[in-house]
């Protein structure tokens, strides 16, 4: 990577500068950044400005010294020019041959470009969606599904051994309510006036399920006894979870494992988890309940683990679940969750601390909510009231690619306003198609010439236009951007990057002709297009979007 090379050379030059007695030794942080304007070169450093105070030089004098140190480094031929500008910036202009070598590397790597081995195959789990099987997925879940799925791909790309998991709350109060709601709807089919419980589920889908039960079993369930309750529970769960799986699959999201909450209860892991917390002095009793000591973390008060009637809370079970994850050998766990789970996140982190797990074991990728804007009206989601826009409806109308793109293109910590009218009427002006079109145009030119294999040995020296060198520099940034997107839980960096790259490509392609009489030039430009194609391909792939050859 170009930046790495530059940074290394800067560090070396700075090291030599430290021989000067007017400079303090060994504390400078070498910062290199990509220049924002062409006249500032390719990379620049403000190190002289930041470090002048640790020397007896002025910032400008220090920059001069530093620039000289860079220029006299004869071991490399990185720069065509080194300049000082403004109050003390040092700007370097890369030699074209160096930039060409970056493209050569991309051609050599092909579709492996951007992969990294940082993760060293460490087992990492991404847990996401994990919606209760009490109703179909909403657009909010859709955002989480896309976020989790892309993060999982990103970490795979960084060399982690990634597993996607869905945690299934198939036990507890909400499930009881679900069964009761289904029972009420079932009896209503026979004209009985049984009401849905106050906090129960009102959605139309419960009616559909009730009708199916009627169809299969008739009026045979006359009382809501233990057996019927159990039956309705399992029936509702299995039907709703297959709805959920179906929606996810339409979105292109596949899980490696589905973890059932019931298993934690049956295996005794919940009890064991409580015991472990007790052994670490992490709990206390008050008013007949057992509480977790959260040490007033981020303004969050202590939470109940075991109710006074002896039943464990959701948090208690969740702690057992995380112990289970740790035992399964995951060294990193990323939980993707909505912003409404803040308290749980703090409590869980506290529990992990109490149990002595490493600080980096558990991370939360938090995302804000989604609202749908349609005809100037904004609708918010609420599952229980039965008023929500279903992910399924969105997929039906817009298709997997558009939905995934819109969900991924926003910074997760920002509220996402999904503009239906825009998504519909402008689907042809959609940025997604603009990116895909870049790939298509390149695919088309290679089809036309019979798609010869592109050798990395090709002579790239004819690539001397500023647009060509800029394109290569953009391609070269790809791996670094991917790392940032992964570590900052920010898939939108990929969509931003891809859009910028596509723009640069379209502009270039419009003003320079690739196929021509000059063989060397044509070959070199084809190599450049291949490089762009590789990176666009990889971007779309990581986002889970289709990569069209034709549109």
Partner RNA sequence: GCGCCCGUAGCUCAGUGGAUUAGAGCGUCGCACUCCGGAUGCGAAGGUCGGAGGUUCGAAUCCUCUCGGGCGUACCA
Residues 429-488 close enough to bind RNA by CB under 7 A: 429, 431, 433-434, 437, 440-441, 443-445, 448
Place of tokens 């031929």: 77
Residue 46 or 188: the one with the smaller Cβ distance to RNA is 46
411 near RNA, judged by CB under 7 A: yes
Inter-CA distances, 303 with 298, 313, 316, 353, Å: 13, 9, 10, 15
Any contact of residue 11 with RNA (CB under 7 A)?
no
Sort 299 into a burial class: Cβ within 10 Å, 0-12 / 13-18 / 19+. Answer: exposed
State how far the Cα of 65 lies from the Cα of 59, in Å rounded to an integer. Answer: 10
Residue 359: half-sphere exposure toward Cβ, Cα within 13 Å: 0
Binding residue (CB under 7 A) for RNA from 15, 61, 80, 85: 85
* Closer of 10 and 433 to RNA (Cβ): 433
Strand partners, 165: 127, 257
How many residues contact RNA, by CB under 7 A? Answer: 89
Which span sits near RNA by CB under 7 A: 150-158, 212-220, 235-243, 312-320? Answer: 312-320
Q: Which is nearer to RNA, 223 or 429 (CB)?
A: 429
Residue 417 binding RNA, by CB under 7 A:
yes
> Least distance from C-beta 120 to RNA, angstroms?
27
Q: Which regions of 325-423 does DSSP assign to beta strands (E)? A: 332-338, 362-367, 370-374, 377-379, 416-419
What distance in Å separates the CA atoms of residue 180 and residue 202, rounded to the nearest whole number?
11
Cα separation of 306 and 314, whole Å?
A: 9
The answer to whether 368 contacts RNA (rule: CB under 7 A) is yes
CA-wise closest residue to 512 among 497, 526, 499, 532: 526
Instruction: Write down the least CB distance from residue 302 to RNA, Å.
Output: 9
Half-sphere exposure of 375 (CA within 13 A, CB side): 0
In the complex, the smallest distance separating the C-beta of residue 426 from RNA, rounded to whole angstroms, is 5
In the window 495-524, what residues touch RNA (CB under 7 A)?
496, 499, 503, 506-507, 509-515
Whole-Å CA distances, 222 to 177, 189, 215, 361, 486? 18, 12, 15, 50, 54
* Helices and strands (H and E) in the chain: how many: 19, 15
Under the criterion CB under 7 A, does residue 87 sit at the interface with RNA? yes
Q: What phi and psi, each to the nearest 5 degrees, are found at residue 367? A: -125, 150
Whole-angstrom Cα distance, residue 535 to residue 529? Answer: 10
Tell me the window of 46-54, 221-229, 242-250, 469-477 that interacts with RNA (CB under 7 A): 46-54
**SS3 state of residue 252:** coil
Comparing CB distances to RNA, the nearer of 275 and 301 is: 301
DSSP letters for 162-207: EEEEEEE--SSHHHHHHHHHHHHHHHHTTT--PPPPTTS---HHHH
Backbone angles phi, psi at 56, to 5 degrees: -100, 10
In angstroms, give the least distance from the CB of 450 to RNA.
Answer: 12
Q: Is 340 in the site for RNA (CB under 7 A)?
A: yes
List 419, 470, 537, 546, residue binding RNA (CB under 7 A): 419
Nearer CB in complex with RNA: 120/444: 444
Select the span of 9-17, 108-116, 225-233, 420-428 touching RNA (CB under 7 A).
420-428
Measured from the CB atom, is 124 or 535 closer to RNA?
535
Is 493 a binder of RNA (CB under 7 A)? yes
Q: Which of 61, 122, 189, 344 binds RNA (CB under 7 A)?
A: 344
From the CB of 329, what's the least distance to RNA, in Å?
26
**DSSP code of residue 313:** P
Query: Which string of x and - marks every residue 117-156 that binds RNA (by CB under 7 A)?
Result: ---------------x------------------------
Q: Out of 30, 207, 304, 456, which residue is the one contacting RNA (CB under 7 A)?
A: 304
Q: By CB under 7 A, which span of 152-160, 235-243, 252-260, 413-421 interacts with RNA? A: 413-421
Quote the CA–CA distance of 513 and 154 in Å, as a whole number: 35
CB atoms within 10 A of CB 72: 9
Q: Does 399 bind RNA (CB under 7 A)?
A: no
Cβ 333 to RNA shortest distance, Å: 17
In whole angstroms, how close is the CB of 222 to RNA at the nearest point?
Answer: 28
Q: Compare residues 103 and 315 and give the one whose CB is closer to RNA.
A: 315
Q: Counting contacts by CB under 7 A, is residue 341 touching RNA? A: yes
For position 217 contacting RNA by CB under 7 A, the verdict is no
Residues 448-458, buried b or exposed e (16+ Cβ, 10 A)? Answer: eeeeeebeeeb
Closest distance to RNA from the beta carbon of 433 (Å): 4
- Kindly state whether residue 94 participates in binding RNA, applying the rule CB under 7 A: no
- Considering only residues 157 to 216 of the shown chain, the ones binding RNA according to CB under 7 A are 169, 171-174
Question: Which of residues 82 and 162 has its CB atom nearest to RNA in the complex?
Answer: 82
Q: At its nearest, how many Å lie between RNA and the CB of residue 422?
A: 6
- What does the buried/exposed string (b/e) look like for 505-527 if buried means 16 or more CB atoms within 10 Å of the residue's CB? beebbeeeebeeeeeebbbbbbb
Q: Contact with RNA (CB under 7 A): which of 89, 186, 388, 478? A: 89
| Contact pick of 21, 287, 359, 360 for RNA (by CB under 7 A) | 287
- The answer to whether residue 30 forms part of the interface with RNA (CB under 7 A) is no
Residues in the chain: 551
Nearest distance from C-beta of residue 331 to RNA, angstroms: 26
């Amino acid at each position: 990577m170009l930046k790495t090379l530059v940074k290394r050379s800067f560090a070396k030059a700075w090291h030599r500068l430290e021989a000067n007695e007017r400079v303090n030794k060994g504390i400078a942080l070498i910062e290199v950044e990509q220049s924002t304007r062409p006249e500032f070169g390719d990379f620049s450093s403000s190190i002289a400005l930041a470090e002048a105070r640790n020397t007896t030089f002025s910032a400008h004098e220090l920059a001069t010294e530093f620039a000289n140190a860079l220029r006299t480094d004869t071991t490399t031929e990185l720069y065509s020019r080194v300049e000082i500008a403004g109050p003390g910036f040092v700007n370097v202009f890369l030699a074209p041959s160096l930039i060409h070598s970056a493209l050569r590397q991309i051609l050599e790597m092909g579709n492996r470009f951007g992969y990294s081995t940082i993760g060293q195959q460490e087992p990492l789990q991404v847990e996401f969606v994990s919606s209760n099987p009490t109703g179909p997925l909403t657009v909010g879940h859709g955002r989480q599904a896309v976020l989790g799925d892309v993060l999982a791909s990103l970490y795979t790309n960084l060399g982690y051994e990634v597993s996607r998991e869905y945690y299934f709350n198939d036990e507890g109060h909400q499930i009881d309510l679900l069964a009761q709601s289904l029972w009420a709807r079932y009896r209503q089919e026979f004209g009985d006036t049984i009401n849905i419980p106050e906090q129960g589920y009102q959605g139309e889908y419960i009616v559909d399920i009730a009708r199916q039960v009627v169809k299969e079993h008739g009026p045979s369930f006359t009382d809501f006894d233990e057996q019927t309750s159990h039956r309705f529970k399992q029936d509702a769960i299995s039907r709703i979870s297959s709805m959920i799986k179906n929606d996810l699959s339409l979105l292109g999201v596949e899980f490696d494992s589905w973890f059932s909450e019931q298993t934690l209860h049956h295996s005794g892991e919940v009890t064991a988890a409580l015991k472990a917390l007790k052994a670490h002095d992490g709990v206390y009793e008050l008013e007949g309940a057992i509480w977790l000591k959260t040490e007033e973390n981020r303004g969050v008060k202590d939470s109940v683990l075991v109710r006074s009637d002896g039943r464990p809370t959701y948090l208690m079970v969740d702690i057992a679940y995380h112990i289970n994850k740790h035992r399964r050998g995951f060294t990193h766990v990323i939980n993707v969750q909505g912003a409404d789970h803040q308290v749980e996140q703090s409590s869980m982190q506290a529990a992990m601390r109490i149990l002595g797990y490493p600080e980096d074991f558990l991370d939360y990728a938090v995302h804000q909510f989604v609202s749908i804007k349609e005809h100037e009206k904004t609708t918010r989601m609420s599952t229980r009231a039965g008023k929500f826009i279903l992910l399924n409806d969105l997929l039906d109308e817009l298709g997997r690619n558009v939905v995934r793109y819109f969900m991924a293109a926003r910074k997760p910590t920002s509220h996402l306003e999904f503009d239906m009218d825009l998504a519909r009427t402008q689907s042809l002006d959609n940025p997604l198609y603009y990116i895909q079109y870049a790939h298509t145009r390149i695919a088309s030119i290679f089809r036309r010439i019979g798609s010869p294999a592109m050798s990395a040995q090709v002579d790239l020296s004819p690539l001397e236009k500023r647009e060509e060198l800029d394109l290569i520099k953009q391609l070269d940034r790809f791996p670094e951007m991917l790392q940032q997107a992964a570590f900052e839980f920010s898939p939108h960096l990929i969509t931003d990057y891809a859009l910028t790259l596509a723009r640069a490509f379209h502009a270039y392609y419009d003003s320079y002709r690739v196929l021509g009489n000059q063989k060397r030039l044509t070959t070199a430009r084809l190599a450049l297009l291949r490089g762009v194609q590789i990176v666009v391909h990889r971007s779309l792939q990581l986002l889970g979007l289709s990569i069209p050859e034709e549109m």
